Amino acid sequence: MILAPELRAQIEEIAGRYPDRRSALLPALHLAQRSLGGCVQADGVAEVASILGLPLAAAFGVQSYYTMFNRQPIGRYHLQLDVNVPAMLAGADALLAHLEQVLGIRAGQTTPDGLFTLSTVQDLGSCGTCPVLQVNDRYYENLTPARADELLTHLRRGQMPDWQPEAAWGSSCNILLRRRGNPKARELAEYRKTGGYQALEKALGMTPEALVAEVKAAALRGRGGAGFPAGMKWGFLPKEGNRPVYMICNADEGEPGTFKDRQIMEFDPHLLLEGLTIAGLAVGSRLGFIYIRGEFAWIAEILERAAEQARQAKLLGNDILGRGKEFEVLVHLGAGAYVCGEETALIESLEGKRGCPRVKPPFPASAGLYGCPTIVNNVETLACVPTIVQHGAEAFKKLGTPNNHGPKIFGISGHVKRPGTYEHPLGTSLDALLAEAGGVQGKLKAIIVGGLSVPILTAAEAAGLKMDYDSCLKAGTMLGSGGVIVMNETTSIPAVALRAMEFYAHESCGQCAPCSRGSHTVLALLRRLVAGRGSQADIEAVLHLCKRIKGSTLCPTGDAFSVPIEAMVRKFRPEFEALVR
Amino acid sequence: MPTLTIDEREVSVPAGASVLEAAEALGITVPHFCYHKALGAVGACRLCAVEIQAGPQHGLRMACLVEARDGMVVSTTAPAATGMRRAVIEYLMLNHPHDCPVCDEGGECQLQDMTVAGGHGVRRYRGKKRTFPNQELGPFVEQEMNRCIQCYRCVRTYRDYAGGHDFGVLGVRQRVAYGRFRPGRLESPYSGNLVDVCPTGVFTDKTVRFRARVWDMQCAPSVCPHCSLGCATWPWARYRELLRVSGREGPRTNGFFLCDRGRFGSGHANHPDRPRTPRLDGRELGWPEALEALRERLTKLTWAHGPGAVGLLTSGRASLESARALGLLGQALGGAPVVCEPHPRRDRAVRALVAELGQLGRDQEDVRQSDCLLLAGLDPEGEAPMLALAARQAVRRGARAAVWDPRPDRLPFPARRIARLPEALLEALARPDGRAPDGLEAAERESYAETRAALQAAERPVLLGGADLLGPRGVRLLLAAARALSRPGRACGLSLALPGPDSFGGALLCPDGPDADELLAGIEAGRVRALVCLEADPLSEHPDPARVAAALGRLELLVVLDHLPTASAARAHAVLPTTAAAEMDGAFVNHAGRLQGFARVYSAGLPIRVTGQGAHPPREFRPDTPGELPQPGWAVLAALAGEPVELGELRAELARSEPRLAGLAGLVAGGPGVQLALEPSARERPDTPAEPGVAEGELALLSVEALFGSEPLSARAAPVAGVASEDALALCPADAARLGLGEGEPARLRSALGEAVLPVRLAPGLAPGFALVQRRFGGPLEGFAPGGGPIACRIEKGGAR
Each residue's pLDDT tens digit, B231-289 = 999 999 999 999 999 999 999 999 999 999 999 998 999 999 999 999 999 999 999 99
Phi, psi at residue B594, to the nearest 5°? -105, 125
Q: Distance from B69 to chain A by nearest Cα, in Å? A: 15
3-state secondary structure of B302: helix
Beta strands across the sheet bearing B9-12 = B9-12, B3-6, B73-75, B49-54, B59-62
Torsions phi, psi of A486, nearest 5? -105, 130
Residue A227 has pLDDT above 70, yes or no: yes
Question: If you average pLDDT over residues A361-390, what whole number do you get?
Answer: 96
Q: Is the pLDDT of residue B612 over 60?
A: no
**Distance set, CA B406 to CA A432, B384, B401 (Å):** 78, 18, 16
Which of A42, A516, A553 shows the shortest C-beta gap to B173? A516
Residue A193 lies in a domain: yes
**Alpha carbon distance B118, B115 (integer Å):** 5
From chain A, the residues in CB contact with B91 under 8 A are 513-514, 517-518, 521
Q: Are residues A266 and A389 in the same domain?
A: yes
Comparing A54-58, A291-295, A325-329, B586-590, the range with the smallest average pLDDT is A54-58
Reported as a single tens digit per residue, the pLDDT across B624-633 is: 888 889 999 9
Helix crossing, A297-312 with A269-283: angle to 10°?
60
B42 in A contact zone (CB under 8 Å): yes
If asked whether residues A389 and A325 sit together in one domain, one would say yes
What is the phi/psi pair of residue A254, to 5°? -150, 15
ipTM: 0.91
- In tens, the pLDDT along A250-290 reads 999 999 999 999 999 999 999 999 999 999 999 999 999 99
pLDDT in tens, B437-485: 999 999 999 999 999 999 999 999 999 999 999 999 999 999 999 999 9
Cβ separation of B171 and A65 shorter than 8 Å? Answer: yes
Mean pLDDT of A173-201: 94
Instruction: Give CA–CA dist B403/B422, Å, rounded.
Output: 9
Q: Return the closest-CA partner of residue B27 out of B43, B14, B11.
A: B11
Same domain, A352 and A471: no
Taking CB atoms and an 8 Å limit, are A554 and B43 in contact across chains?
yes
Let me know if residue A163 belongs to a domain: no
Rounded to 10 deg, the angle between the A557-571 and A536-549 helix axes is 140
> Is A342 found in the same domain as A193?
yes
With helix as H, strand as E and coil as C, how does A78-102 read?
Answer: EEEEECCHHHHHCCHHHHHHHHHHH
What is the distance in angstroms between the Cα of B114 and the nearest Cα belonging to chain A? Answer: 15
Same domain, A416 and A565: no
Contact B702, B694 (CB under 8 A): no
Domain end (from A488, A507, A537): A488
Cβ contact, residue pair A524, B127, below 8 Å: yes
Reduce the DSSP state of residue B364 to 3 states and report it.
helix
What integer is the mean pLDDT of B324-345?
A: 93
pLDDT at residue B801, as a whole number: 47
Q: Which residues, at least 6 apart from A214, have a Cβ–Cβ distance to it below 8 Å? A: A206, A231, A388, A389, A392, A393
Across-strand partners of A404? Answer: A401
Residue of chain A nearest B41, judged by CA positions: A359
Q: What is the SS3 assignment for B71?
A: coil
Residue A513: its chain B contacts at CB < 8 A? Answer: 44-47, 88, 91-92, 149-150
A340 lies in a domain? yes
Burial of B497 (0-12, 13-18, 19+ CB in 10 A): buried
Chain B: residue nearest A61 by CA? B170
Rounded CA separation A520/B460 (Å): 51
Selection from B584, B766, B547 nearest residue B669 by Cα? B584
**H or E element, residue B772:** strand B770-775
State what percent of residues in chain A have pLDDT above 90.
96
How far the first Cα of chain A sits from its last, in Å, is 60
Q: Report the alpha-carbon distance of residue B412 to residue B417 in Å, rounded.
A: 14
Alpha carbon distance B573, B379 (integer Å): 37
- Say whether A60 and B170 touch across the interface (CB within 8 A): yes
C-beta atoms of A55 and B94 within 8 A? no
Cβ <8 Å between B125 and A521: yes
Q: Residue A506: closest CA among chain B residues belongs to which residue?
A: B173
Residue B756 to residues A454, B143, B268, B727, Cα–Cα distance (Å)? 75, 39, 27, 10
pLDDT-based confidence at A350, cuts 50/70/90? very high
| A359 contact residues in B (CB cutoff 8 A) | 41-43, 65
**A274 has which bridge partners?**
none
Task: Tell whether A426 is covered by a domain.
Answer: yes
Residues A363 and A235 in one domain: yes
**Mean pLDDT (chain B, rounded):** 93
**Distance in Å from the first CA to the final CA of chain B:** 67
Residue B137 · residue B184 · CB < 8 Å: yes
Tell which of A54, A503, A517 to mutate to test the B interface (max B CBs under 10 Å). Answer: A517
- Cβ count within 10 A of residue A91: 15
- With an 8 Å Cβ cutoff, the interface of chain A facing chain B consists of 42, 45-46, 55-58, 60-61, 64-67, 337, 354, 359, 505-514, 516-521, 524, 541, 548, 551-554
Interchain pair B181, A57: CB under 8 A: yes
Of residues A473, A519, A453, A515, the one with CA closest to residue A123 = A453
Picking from B87, B149, B170, the nearest residue to A64 by CB comes out as B170
Which of A280, A264, A276 has the alpha carbon at shortest distance from A175?
A: A264
Residues B129-156, mean pLDDT to the nearest whole number: 95
One-character DSSP codes across B489-545: TB--EEEEE-SSTTHHHHHHH-TT---HHHHHHHHHTTS--EEEEES--HHHHSS-H
**Positive or negative: CA dihedral B710, B711, B715, B719:** negative
Residue B249 is classified by DSSP as: -
Provide the CATH number for the domain around residue A538: 1.20.1440.230
pLDDT at B610: 60
Residue A10, exposed/middle/buried by CB under 10 A (0-12, 13-18, 19+)?
middle
Q: Do residue A385 and residue A302 come from a single domain?
A: yes
In a domain, A162, yes or no: no
pLDDT range class, residue B528, cuts 50, 70, 90: very high
Domain CATH for A271: 3.40.50.11540
Nearest to B639 by CA among B571, B559, B581, B529: B559
The minimum CA-CA distance between B399 and chain A, rounded to whole Å, is 17
Q: CA-nearest residue of chain A to B175?
A: A510
Q: Where are the beta strands (DSSP E) in B152-227?
A: 168-170, 177-179, 203-205, 218-219, 222-223
**Domain extent for A141:** 77-156
Q: Which domains does chain B have, with CATH numbers?
A: 3-93 (3.10.20.740), 279-343+505-671 (3.40.50.740), 358-498 (3.40.228.10), 699-797 (2.40.40.20)
Looking at the domain assignment, is residue A70 inside a domain? Answer: no
CA B129 to chain centre: 41
Tell me what pLDDT residue B341 has: 95
Question: Chain A contacts of B149, Cβ < 8 Å?
Answer: 513
Crossing angle, helix A42-52 and helix A5-17, to 10 degrees?
A: 50
Residue type at A50 in one-letter notation: S
Distance CA B436, CA B450 (A): 11
Question: Inter-chain contact A513–B172, Cβ cutoff 8 Å?
Answer: no
10 Å CB burial of residue A322 (0-12, 13-18, 19+) is: exposed
What is the arithmetic mean of pLDDT over A81-102? 96
Look at residue A296 and tell me if it is in a domain. Answer: yes
- Burial annotation B572-602 (CB, 10 A radius, 16+ → b, else e): bbbbbbbbbbbbbbbbbbbbbbbbbbbbbbb
Count of domains in chain A? 5
3-state helix/strand/coil string of B5-53 = EECCEEEECCCCCEHHHHHHHCCCCCCCCCCECCCECCCCCCCCEEEEE
What is the pLDDT, as a whole number, of residue B152? 94
Nearest to A552 among B46, B166, B171 (CB): B46
Percentage of residues in chain A with pLDDT exceeding 70? Answer: 100
Contact B124 A508 (CB under 8 A): no
CB atoms within 10 A of CB B477: 26
Q: Considering only the beta carbons, identify the residue of B47, B175, B181 that sits closest to A56.
A: B181
Q: Is the pLDDT of residue A325 over 90?
A: yes
Q: Are A513 and B171 inside 8 Å of each other by CB?
A: no
* Final residue belonging to a domain, choices A156, A189, A205: A156
In a 10 Å sphere around its CB, with 0-12 CB exposed, 13-18 middle and 19+ buried, how is residue A274 labelled? buried
**Chain B residues in contact with A335 (beta carbon < 8 A):** none
Distance from chain centroid for Cα A235: 25
Are residues A499 and A483 both part of a single domain? no
State residue B691's pLDDT score: 79
- Same-domain status, A180 and A128: no
Return d(Cα B610, Cα B501) in angstroms, integer.
33
Coil vs helix vs strand at B404: strand
Number of residues that this document lists for chain A: 581
Does A503 lie in the same domain as A455?
A: no
A402 is a domain residue: no
How many angstroms separate the CA of residue A561 from the nearest CA in chain B? 14
Contact criterion met (CB below 8 Å) for B419 and B379: no
Distance, CA of A64 to CA of B503 (rounded, Å): 49
Residues A136 and A206 in one domain: no
Distance from CA of A534 to the nearest CA of B (A): 11
**Nearest CB to B87 within list A64, A509, A548:** A548
* pLDDT at residue B95, as a whole number: 92
Within 13 Å, how many C-alpha atoms sit on residue B251's CB side? Answer: 7
B613 falls in which pLDDT band (50, 70, 90)? Answer: low
CB pairs under 8 A between A and B: 116
Q: Are residues A233 and A292 in the same domain?
A: yes
CA distance A79 to chain B (A): 22
CA distance A135 to A299: 15
For residues A554 and B43, is the Cβ–Cβ distance under 8 A?
Answer: yes
Q: Which of A448, A468, A488 is the last residue of a domain?
A: A488
How would you classify the pairing of strands A428-429 and B338-339?
A: unpaired
Which CATH number do you get for residue A132? 3.40.30.10
Q: Count Cβ neighbours within 10 Å for each residue of B734-770 and write b for 16 or more, e otherwise.
A: ebbeebebeeeeebbbebebbebebbbbbbeebbebb
